[in-house]
Chain A
Amino acid sequence: MNSTAINLIPRVYWTLTAFLFAAVGAMVIFWTPREATMGDVQKIFYVHLPLAIHTFLACFVVFVASVMYVLQRRLWWDDLAGAAAKVAVLFASLVLLTGMVWGRSAWGHWWTWSPRLTFSLILWLLYVVYLMIRPSIESPQKRAMISAVYGVIAFLDVPLVYLSTKLLPDIHPESISLAPPMKMTLLAWFVPMTLLAAGLLIARFRLNRRRSVLERGAEEDLEDDRTEDAAYAGPHLTPAGEIA
């Protein structure tokens, strides 16, 4: 494939994603019925649940990439973990915000210390810290190692956080029965949301790759970045911004 075709892929991808978001947005506004007790605010739910599930998936990617970094010591994995953590924090923030808007309407408070809210907040904190510590460590290997160990520990902590928040009194809905159009809309929302998450992850990952090549250009090869044999084999950026 020539470079013009490759450059076209992201454009097509993001246009498609935007189009699908518009489509599922229209579904929510025009097609799904108004919920009897909650009214229009209930419609936040179609955004809220897919966001929450993709937050977990992103956290899982951080975990897998962290384990792989610890085992293989390739900065490739660290770049992936860093990208996934960014997506996780973005999505977790949106989960918190949509949840707060919903809660304000359902319970009359922006915030209550109910199990799921507390859980989401702690999850958000865990991964915000992950992002905050990274820039403060200068050596790429050290940064990768500290981030990787933290990524593993944070993910192992997630089920424990979930169980411990269960000790708090709960008012969050446990399971909801949905009318068929509601179910369809919810499922439809997963498609653009998955595209968004994957697209952001890939874009971030490519950016991280380029950055680490620039940072460590004199030490590392893109193809083989094993830290112990860091012979420079000449990665550089072409004028088009591609890594050669």
Chain B
Amino acid sequence: MNRAIRHIALLTAKDLRIEARGRQTIGLVTVLAILIVVVLALGLAPAPGASGLTATAILWVAYLFGGVLIFEKTMAVERYDEALAGLLLAPIDRGAIFAAKLIANLVLMFTLALVVTPVAVVLFQFDLSASPGGFVVVMMLSMIGYAAIGTLFAALTSSTRLAGGLLAMLVFPVTLTIILASTRVLYNLFEHQQPVGGSGLAILIAFDVIFLVASWLVFELVLEA
């Protein structure tokens, strides 16, 4: 167990170190996400004090596209100089590789959210004051499920020619569940002042658990292919 945790920590640190030194992914992704928010802001010409529901819809668009780029980039690193072959030859459990990639992806996604959310709040004058904590919990749960699916499919598609477009095609329809569940939970939270909980939250947690386990199980087979 300790060994596995050490491996995961080592691999995560490796991915984050590469990112910290190159800063290729996070800069690109953040600028893209801000661009998306600005495009939507110009297009929608929002009324001041837009509700939390509009906030989630707009932020989801930014997170979805940003996320796909993050998943693709963190996996593409392994394709240079046969790094993946080295990784697979190392006496490390494949599950640990998946966990490490997932954590690295999540760290980058949370970083993206930390920058983009305040930008959107300022541009749209979102009013999240009703329940900022609930907003953060729901969004974090949603991102975990999204990152699990994204990490799996990124490993699967990274060696094909059209990795980026293909990845978005694969991940978006599966993610519609999370978007639907999270927007409904936040709608009830901001429009009806219902506390976060109940079936919406249960679905988000179920999604996270099912796809974390499924991705972890399939990841090993995917890497061998």
Measured CB to CB, the residues of A under 8 A from B are 70, 118, 122, 125-126, 129, 132-133, 136-139, 141-142, 145-146, 149-150, 152-154, 156-157, 160-161, 163-168
What 17 additional pairs, Cβ within 8 angstroms, besides A125-B176, A167-B185? Answer: A118-B180, A126-B173, A145-B225, A146-B170, A149-B152, A149-B218, A152-B218, A153-B152, A156-B211, A161-B176, A163-B203, A163-B206, A164-B177, A165-B180, A167-B199, A167-B203, A168-B184
Judging by beta carbons under 8 Å apart, are B222 and A145 in contact?
yes
Closest Cβ of chain A to B139, distance in Å, is 16
Judging by beta carbons under 8 Å apart, are A142 and B173 in contact?
no
Judging by beta carbons under 8 Å apart, are A149 and B173 in contact?
no
Closest Cβ of chain A to B145, distance in Å, is 9
Judging by beta carbons under 8 Å apart, are B214 and A153 in contact?
yes
Chain A residues with CB under 8 Å of B149's CB are 153
Chain B residues with CB under 8 Å of A141's CB are 225
Interface residues on B, range: 20 to 34
Q: Does B28 contact A (CB under 8 A)?
A: no
Judging by beta carbons under 8 Å apart, are B152 and A164 in contact?
no
Classify the interface of chain A: helix, strand, loop or mixed: helix
Chain A residues with CB under 8 Å of B221's CB are 70
Chain B residues with CB under 8 Å of A168's CB are 180, 184
Classify the interface of chain B: helix, strand, loop or mixed: helix
- Given A164-B181, A165-B180, is A129 in contact with B169 using a C-beta cutoff of 8 Å? yes
Q: Does B107 contact A (CB under 8 A)?
A: no
Q: Nearest chain-A residue to B179 (Cβ)?
A: A164
Chain B residues with CB under 8 Å of A129's CB are 169-170, 172-173
Q: Nearest chain-B residue to A138 (Cβ)?
A: B161
Q: When each residue 186-204 of chain B gets 1 if its CB lies under 8 Å from chain A and 0 otherwise, what string results?
A: 0000000000000110010
Judging by beta carbons under 8 Å apart, are A153 and B177 in contact?
no
> Which 4 residue pairs are nearest across A and B when measured between Cβ atoms?
A167-B184, A164-B181, A145-B225, A164-B180
Chain B residues with CB under 8 Å of A161's CB are 176-177, 180
A150 to B160, CA, bound (A): 15
Judging by beta carbons under 8 Å apart, are A146 and B184 in contact?
no
Judging by beta carbons under 8 Å apart, are A126 and B174 in contact?
yes
Q: Does B35 contact A (CB under 8 A)?
A: no
Judging by beta carbons under 8 Å apart, are A167 and B181 in contact?
yes
